[in-house]
Amino acid sequence: MEKYKYDENNGLWYELQGDYYLPCLKLPVEEQVHIGIWGQRHLNYLRENKRVLLSSLQFIGKLNGYLADIDSQADKMFKQLVKQIAEREGITEQLKSAEQIAWVCRMNNIRNRAMEIVNTEIIYK
């Protein structure tokens, strides 16, 4: 018996394993992209709450790209929110040089609020 066999009906190669021909299947190669903190948080959310979506993204080989996209969207939204809220509340470089501790406290407060918004709108959705 032949070791490999090609089926023209479905376009698959089969390999002889014992007495049976099994299809030679491989996952598509996915480009590796750096996933930041936002993408990692979303991955943890998928693992805990959306296992079917996680499995399907892994199966079609698009998980890394999906997480990289979520990461870039969340990072962009976070930076934009911090900037807008700081401008609206009048936090300037002048305040930073005059009262450093007050500036740090207010900026930490803004960052925490922006983080909650991003988590609600993008990460845990």
pLDDT averaged over consecutive 10-residue blocks of the chain (125 residues)?
Answer: 88 90 79 91 97 93 94 98 97 94 97 98 95
- Cα–Cα dist 70/41, whole Å: 10
18 φ/ψ sector (left φ>0, alpha ψ -120 to 50, else beta) = left
84 three-class SS: helix
pLDDT at 32: 81
In the block, residue with structure tokens 């479905």 = 10
- Cα–Cα dist 30/57, whole Å: 11
Give the Cβ contact number of residue 88 at 10 Å. 9
pLDDT at 27: 65
43 three-class SS: helix
pTM listed for this prediction: 0.76
Q: Are 89 and 111 in contact (CB under 8 A)?
A: no
